[in-house]
Amino acid sequence: MRRFAIPTPSSPPPPMSATTSKTYDSQSVYSPATLAIYDTLVLRLSNPLVWRCPTRRILDLYNQHVTASHLDVGVGTGWYMDHCRFPASPRLALMDLNPNSLEAAARRVGRYAPTTHVADVLRPIDGHGETYGSIGVTYLLHCLAGDIRHKSAVFDHLIPLLAPGGTLFGATILAQGVPRSAAAVKLMGFYNKKGIFGNARDSLDDLRLALASRFNDVRVDTIGCVALFSARGPSP
């Protein structure tokens, strides 16, 4: 898909406003105790039964796009990186706002000797000179406050870390433009009320537009209320 002449956000989100502070609330949920049950609660139960997107479909996305130099942003427990098929001897970097998640994921994939980076990707990422052939942003966007147009600043901040022709890919749970079961509506409403999710206004159309205005070869597929996407950066 060609780049569209659509304006992109020109300034970073305001510092710790009432809206952006919810981003930090969503991150605080990921304590060691929560991470200990995350795989069961999210990957084995919520994904197939509530969001109607089997975890293996997201794993397939990793297997399709992950490269020998990979940056994962919003790492969860590191399950996808633990199970995906990396090329031999990958260079792996992990980035998250929550040190608990970084520690858990780094320990899980310690065989790859990953580097870890604490960063808020809603803000410009300074001092990170590496680039990567693939960047994963799985289940990150729906945890951030604001609508997709606001959160798409994440893409702007990650593009400088994407090698020429590299691929950014991931998955996010949407509230608009996708089918939602009664269970999904109820659980999503609860998570938004608690500040765990921030996706009440996240729509499929806005996601497609945000990606198409920044990347080439954009693909967005939906399974249940989950959008699986991939997008290629400009070629050299």
pLDDT tens-digit profile of 56-79? 999 999 999 999 999 999 999 999
CA distances from 150 to 13, 19, 43, 142, 158 (A): 8, 11, 27, 12, 15
Q: What is the pLDDT of residue 198?
A: 96
pLDDT tens-digit profile of 24-39? 455 567 788 899 999 9
Mean pLDDT value of segment 147-163? 96
Alpha helices in the chain (DSSP H): 21-28, 32-38, 55-65, 79-83, 99-108, 148-151, 153-158, 182-194, 204-212
- The answer to whether 215 touches 134, Cβ cutoff 8 Å, is no
Tokens coding 197: 């999710």
Is the sign of the CA dihedral 43, 46, 49, 52 positive or negative?
Answer: negative
Tokens coding 220: 């967005």
**Rounded Cα distance, 166 and 123, in Å:** 21
pLDDT tens-digit profile of 81-106? 999 999 999 999 999 999 999 999 99
- Which numeric CATH code is attached to 21-232? 3.40.50.150
Q: Where are the domains of the chain?
A: 21-232
Tokens coding 104: 């858990």
User: Can you tell me whether residue 48 is helix, strand or coil?
Assistant: helix
**Rounded Cα distance, 188 and 179, in Å:** 13
